[in-house]
A and B are shown apart, each in its own frame.
Chain A
Amino acid sequence: MSATDLTSDHFQRLQSGAVVAQTARPSLSYWADAWRRLRGNPRAMVSMSLIVFLLAFVSIGPSLWRVDPAAQDLDQIGIGPGADRRVTLAEPFQQWQPSIQDIALADNPLGFTLAMPANTQAVRLIWSEQLAQQQQQPRYRLYRNLFAPSDTGSFGLPLAVVDRSWFEDRLDLQPGTYYYTLVALDADGAATANAVTQTVDVIRVISIAEARQRGLLDAEETAELGQSLELAWHPLGTDYLGRDMLARLMYGGQVSLFIGIFAPLAFVLLGVIYGSVSGFLGGVTDQAMMRFADFVVALPFLLFMILFKVIFGIGPGESGIWPMLVAMIILLWPAPARLVRGQILQIREEGYVSASRLLGGTTSYVVGRHMLPNTLGVILVTMTFQVPSAIFTEAFLSFIGMGVAPPTPSWGAMCNEGIKSMLTRPHELLFPAMLISVTVLAFNLLGDGLRDALDARMRGSE
C-alpha cells in the first residue's frame, strides 16, 4: 500500500443549500400519511362525522333544546313523533252530580246517552232505568272499547259495576272514538242480553289555568272557551311518563358517551403502560406482571361493581356511574396490556431496533421513536373497539338497575323501559336503541379505518 498522495485539492466543499436531487412529492410524516389514508376511506370518514355529530348532540344539544328531561307532560303520555297536539280550552274539571235536566236526557229511544260533550277530562254517561233487568236492585256493567263491538260478545274493557243510572269515566281518555256498552246485570251479577252501545267522540281539552301554568298561554293573553291551542311540542314523542324523548336522549347520551369514552381512554392507557413495561423488561418481571394480569382477568366484573358501590357509600337512589367507571378501569386493563406486551416483545427483536441500538440510540429514543409508533395502530384500534363495549356495559348495567338512578336517563336505561311497551309504543325503544347501535357501529367502523390507516407497514400505499 503506497503512502497516500491525497491532498486537500482532492476535496471540494459542498455548497450548502445546493439541490442534490429533486423529490417528486413532499415528504410525508407518519401522521400526515395516516390521515391521508383515513381520508380516502369513506366508511371511516362517515363514522367520524357521525361521532362528531353525536358528541355535539349530547353536549350542545341540551342548550339548544331547553326541555327538562324529567318534566312529565301527563296529557301526552307515550305519544309518537308527530302526534296531533291540538287542544281546546274548556272549563276546569269539576265533580259531577247529575241534575234533573241530565236525567231527562236519558229519555231517548236508546236510553243511553252522553250527559255533556265528551272530552279528555271526563266522559259522562247517563241512561234510563228502563234498561235494568230487575227494577228492585238495578245493576249495570259498563264497558269501553276502542274497536266497534263485533258479535263475539266482547265489549272491551270492563270499567265498573254501578247500581245507579249514571257513570263518569276518567280513565286514560285520549282524543278519538270510543264505544261504550252498557250491560244490565241480573240478581247474581251475571250479564244479561240487555246491552246497548253508544259511540262517543272524545276531544282533548285543557283548562285556561292549566294552559297558563304550562306556558301555552301568556299571562296577559286573553282566551275564551272553545279556542284551539297546541300542546307542548315533542319532536320525538314522549315516554311512559310523558317525558320528552329528545331531551332524554340528549341527557342520556351524556352518561352513555361519558362512560363510553372515558373508561376506555383510562384503562387502555393503563394497559399500554403496564404492557410496554412488562414487554420491554422481559424475563422474570414480565412473567410476574403477566401472571398478575391473568389474576385480574379472573375477577368478576359485576361483583366488583357492587363492591365499589358499597365502598363509595353510594346510597340507594344515587347514580352508580362513578363506581362503574372505577370498576371498568380497575378490571378491564389486562386485555390491552397483553396486546401491547405482545407487540413490544415482537418489535424488540426487529432488525431496525437492533440497528438503532448499535448506532447508539438510548432506551428512551428507541421506545419513543420505534416502539411506540409501531404499536400505536394496535393501541388506537383497541381503544375504538373498547368504546362500544363500554357503552354496551353501561347499557347492560343500567338495564339491570345498577347504573343511573331515576330520573336521570341513559340510553341503556331508556331501552330497558321502552322494551316493556315495544308493541304498542315502539318509538320508546327504537330511538335509544338506534342511537346505541349507531354509536357502536360508528366507533367500530372508525376503528377499522384507523387500523388500516395507522399500520406503519402500509405507509405510502393507497
Chain B
Amino acid sequence: MLALTENTSPNRQLAKFFIIAFAGVAALMLTLHYAGRTLSGGSSDVSAVDEAANSISILLRDEPPQLDSSRATDAISGMVLGHVMEGLVRMGLDSRLEGAVAKDWEVTPTKATFWLRDNAKWNDGEPVTAADFIFAWQTALKPETASEYAFLLFAIKNAEAVNKGALPASALGVSASDPYTLVIELERPVPFFDKMLVFPTFYPIREDFYEATNGRFGADADQLLYNGPFQISRWVHGSSMTFERNPHFWNQDEIHLDTIHVPYITSDGTASLNFFKDGRIASTGLQAENLTEAMRMGWQIRQHRDGTVFFLEFNHRPGRLTDNLNLRRAVQAALDMEEMVYKVTKLPGYEPGVSLFPGWLMGVSAPLREEHPPQKVVPNLAAAKDHLAAAMQELNLSEPPQLVLLAGDNPISNIQSEWVQQSLKAKLGIDVKIDKQIFKQRLAKMTSGDFDLVLAGWGPDYNDPLTFGDLFASWNKNNRGRYNSPALDALIEIAQTRLEPAVRMRAFGDIQQHLIENAVLLPMYERGVTYVVDPRIRQLKRRVIGPDPDVSRAYIDTSGE
C-alpha cells in the first residue's frame, strides 16, 4: 500500500501540471482570439447572408494584384472590376450584350459609334463622358503602361503604332463629337467589335483623377474612381475587402444589395468549404473529395462550364524533340483523355477535350462544333508505338526520349501531370519529368520556351471563336510553343479579316482540323465548375465572359422558402 501511495503522488502532480498547462493554453488562445477580432475590426463576424444589413459575404481565391483596368489581366481583377466599374456595354443576366454606359451603338466595317447615357456618373457625382474612355484606351496603349492586353485594342485605327511608340497617343482613332458621343475608327473590319468591349481594358478612367494618384492608380481603395454599381469602401491587403453600393450609379433599380463583404482571401478549397458550412460565405466551389459530403448535406449543387479549355501544348521551337511530328502523334495516340476526365479528375462538368474550340462557341447559326465537327482522335496504342519508332529513327535515338512536362502547382494539375507521366511511361516508355511551378514562374518558363510539354489553359477574352482561333498564329505572343506554320497563319488571316460569317466559320473549322492533324496541341478537357450557393441568394450569375461570379445584381430572397 505504501508503494502505491508513493507512486500516485507524482502522477497526481503530473495531472495537476497538465490541467494547469491546458487551462493556460486555452486562456491564451481565447485572449488572442478576442484580441484578433477587436484588432481586425470584427470582419470575421459577418455572416454569409445578413438580411437586416442587406449584405452578403463571398470569398476571393486571390487578392487582385492591382485594380488599374488598363493593366488588369487576371480573372480575380476582372471579377472585382466588374462589380465596381462599368464599360460601354456589359453582359446581361441572360448572357446577351446590353448597353451599360452606352445607351445605343452602331458598328460598321469602318467605324463604331457609341451614344453614352447622360446620367452615368462617377462615384464623386461627375458624369462619365466619352473623354474618359479615350483617355483609358490611350493609357492602355502607351508603351510605358506595358499593358499585356493592349492587343485587344488593336482593332482601333493606329492602335498598334501607338502601342509600339511609333505614333503619339493622340493619334489613336477615337474621338468625341460631343461629350456623350464616342466615335471609333477601325483599322480593319471587326465583326465582333462590340462584344470585345466587355473586357476590363475598355473600362473608362478619368484623366484628372488618374494624374492625381501619382502612379498609384488602382493600388488601393481610395486610389480608384468608380462608375459601377459598387465602390470599394475598405481594402485590407491580403486579408479582406468590402464593396458598398455606389449612390451615384445610374441604374439603381437593378441593384439590390447594400454591401458585399469579402471577409476571406484564400485559395484553400477545404477552408472555403468550411466557411460555407459555418455560414460565413455565401458560395463555395467543390472539389472531387467534397462531393460526397455535399450530397450528404443535401446541398443544391450547381454546375457551370467556365469556358476555359485545357490542353497539353508542345514546344515547337526548332531543335526541340517535340518539334518532331511523329513524336507528337505518338503522344496524341497514347493519351486517353476520356480516361483522365472520367477516372482521374472525376469532377462533374468536365468534358473530355476534342478540340481547341470549346463546345459553347457559336458558329453561323448553331454551335461551331456542330457545324464543323472535329475529327475524333481515338487512342490507339499500336499506332502510338509506330509513330514513336518513326520519331526515334528521325531523331536518331536508340531509346525513347526524356521529356520535361511543365505544370502548375495545384492539386488538379498535380494529379493530371502524374497521370500523363505514368501513361507515357507505361505505354511508350517515355520518361517524363514533372516541372512543378507556381503560376508566374510557369508563365515565365512558357515564354522562354523552357519545356517540352506544358499543361496550359486558355479562357476566352471575348465571345467569338477568334479568341481561341488565333492562339497558334506565328505572331501571337501567347503561342508559347512558338508553333509556326504559314498554312495555319493563312487560315487565321481569313478568320480575322473576312466579314461573311460562313467563310469565317469554315476557316475556324479548317484551323481546328489543322491543329488536330499536326498534333499542335492535345485538348485535354473543358473545365466545369461545381459549386454551391446559399439558397437565400438569387441571381448570382456565373459567366464565361465577364466577371465570374457576378453578384452585382444578386438579391436576398426573404420569402423564407
The chain A residues found within 8 Å of chain B, CB to CB, are 70-72, 74-75, 77, 144-147, 150, 152-154, 156-160, 170-172, 240-241, 315-318, 401, 405-407, 417, 420-421, 423-425
Contact = CB atoms under 8 A, between A and B. Distances in A.
Nearest to B304: A158
Contacts of B419: 72, 241
B295 A145 contact: yes
Q: Is the interface of A mostly helix, strand, loop or mixed?
A: loop
A119 to B, nearest CB: 13
B342 A172 contact: yes
Nearest to A75: B343
Contacts of A425: 289
A145 B270 CA distance: 22
A71 B426 contact: yes
A444 to B, nearest CB: 19
B291 A157 contact: yes
A171 B300 CA distance: 19
Contacts of A420: 270, 287, 289, 411
B295 A153 contact: no
Interface string B331-367: 0000000110111101011000000000000000000
Given A157-B295, A241-B344, 17 more contacts: A71-B422, A72-B419, A74-B344, A75-B343, A77-B344, A146-B292, A153-B300, A154-B301, A158-B348, A171-B341, A171-B342, A317-B432, A317-B435, A407-B422, A417-B414, A423-B293, A424-B293
A118 to B, nearest CB: 15
Contact of B292 (A150, A159, A401, A424): A424
Contacts of B411: 420
Interface residues of B, number: 46
A316 B407 CA distance: 11
A416 to B, nearest CB: 10
A316 B435 contact: yes
Given A157-B291, A158-B348, A407-B421, A150 B338 contact: no
Interface string B285-325: 00111111101101111110000000000000000000000
B530 interface: yes
Interface in B263-297: 270, 287-293, 295-296
Contacts of A407: 418, 421-422
8 contacts: A72-B426, A154-B301, A157-B303, A158-B302, A172-B343, A316-B404, A401-B436, A420-B270
A158 B301 contact: yes
Contacts of A423: 289, 293
Contacts of A157: 291, 295, 301, 303, 348, 530
Contacts of B346: 77, 171-172
A306 B477 CA distance: 32
Contacts of A170: 338, 342
Contacts of B301: 154, 156-158
A424 B288 CA distance: 10
Interface string B398-413: 0000001110010100
A385 B250 CA distance: 70
A75 B415 CA distance: 16
Contact of B348 (A70, A74, A77, A171): A171
A420 to B, nearest CB: 6
A351 B432 CA distance: 65
Contact of A70 (B293, B406, B422, B437): B422
A348 B339 CA distance: 71
Contacts of A77: 343-344, 346
B474 to A, nearest CB: 28
B434 interface: yes
Residue from A145, A170, A315, A317 having most chain B Cβ neighbours under 10 A:
A317
A115 to B, nearest CB: 19
A147 B421 contact: no
A117 to B, nearest CB: 19
Nearest to B346: A172
A317 B425 CA distance: 15
B409 A74 contact: no
Contacts of A74: 339, 343-344
Nearest to A421: B289
B433 interface: yes
B314 to A, nearest CB: 17
Contacts of B290: 424
Nearest to A93: B338
Nearest to B296: A147
A240 B422 contact: no
Nearest to A241: B418
Contacts of A145: 295
Contact of A318 (B298, B339, B433, B437): B433
A145 B297 CA distance: 12
A108 B299 CA distance: 31
Contacts of A315: 404, 433, 435
A231 B434 CA distance: 30
A406 B421 contact: yes
Contacts of A171: 341-342, 346, 348
B342 A241 contact: no
Contacts of A318: 433
Interface string B231-242: 000000000000
B482 to A, nearest CB: 20
A158 B409 CA distance: 28
B415 A240 contact: yes
Contact of B409 (A75, A153, A401): A401
Given A172-B343, A317-B405, A70 B300 contact: no
B434 A159 contact: no
B292 A406 contact: no
Interface in B148-186: none
Interface in B443-484: none
| Minimum-distance CB pairs A-B, first 6 | A317-B433, A316-B435, A172-B346, A158-B303, A154-B298, A152-B298
A154 to B, nearest CB: 4
Nearest to B343: A74
Given A74-B339, A153-B300, A424-B289, A316 B436 contact: yes
Nearest to A72: B422
Contacts of A405: 433-434
Contacts of A317: 404-405, 432-436
Contacts of B349: 158, 160
Nearest to A153: B300
Residue from B287, B303, B409 having most chain A Cβ neighbours under 10 A:
B303
B320 to A, nearest CB: 16
Contact of B425 (A70, A147, A241): A70
Contacts of B342: 170-172
Nearest to A191: B300
